[in-house]
Amino acid sequence: MGHEQNQGAALLQMLPLLWLLPHSWAVPEGFPVAEVFTLKPLEFGKPNTLVCFVSNLFPPMLTVNWQHHSIPVEGFGPTFVSAVDGLSFQAFSYLNFTPEPSDIFSCIVTHEIDRYTAIAYWVPRNALPSDLLENVLCGVAFGLGVLGIIVGIVLIIYFRKPCSGGMSSGGGG
């Protein structure tokens, strides 16, 4: 088991040199690309998670940092790297936060091999309506439903024709 671990460690040390291989291999060309999005639908004031997704990554040696209003953020989770196709990799970094309308977050990805830096920004867009709006609309709909029932009962009573006893039983003999 120790021999296998030594081989794995040696392969990890050689990984940065793989970018020197001929381009006939399936190596992503260009620079890492970063995107930032929320894990759940955006609702102001409710806890959520920002995800920084990095693609077109080879070799998988990078540093991810977060900023909020251009101020470095502490306490974000580790960066997870996974293989995609051939020698291509992708990475994910997560930041827990509570969104506010004035937020501006940035995910700064630095590729360790060539020191290339990709920056992706996140600003709030298309937030779900607040609970207040939902409650007001629900109350208006309920009120209109009750009003409709009352008007319906009044109209039924008003237009109801009384039964007339036009036929009398006259029995005579």
Q: Residue 26 has what pLDDT?
A: 47
Only one residue has tokens 């319906």, namely 152
Look at residue 28 in the predicted model and tell me its pLDDT.
53
| pLDDT reading at 35 higher than 90 | yes
Q: If you write DSSP's letter for every residue of 47-75 in order, what string do you get?
A: -EEEEEEEEEESS--EEEEEEETTEE---
When pLDDT is averaged across residues 42-51 and rounded to a whole number, the result is: 92
Superfamily holding 25-122: Immunoglobulins (2.60.40.10)
* Cα 57 from Cα 110, distance rounded (Å): 11
Closest of 86, 67, 88 to residue 76, by C-alpha: 67
Instruction: Provide the whole-model pTM.
Output: 0.59
Percent of the chain past pLDDT 90, that is, above it, reads 40
Residue-range domain boundaries for the chain: 25-122, 129-157
Q: What is the pLDDT of residues 84-97, one digit of tens each?
A: 877 788 999 999 99
Between the alpha carbon of residue 15 and those of residues 25, 41, 118, the distances in Å are 14, 38, 21
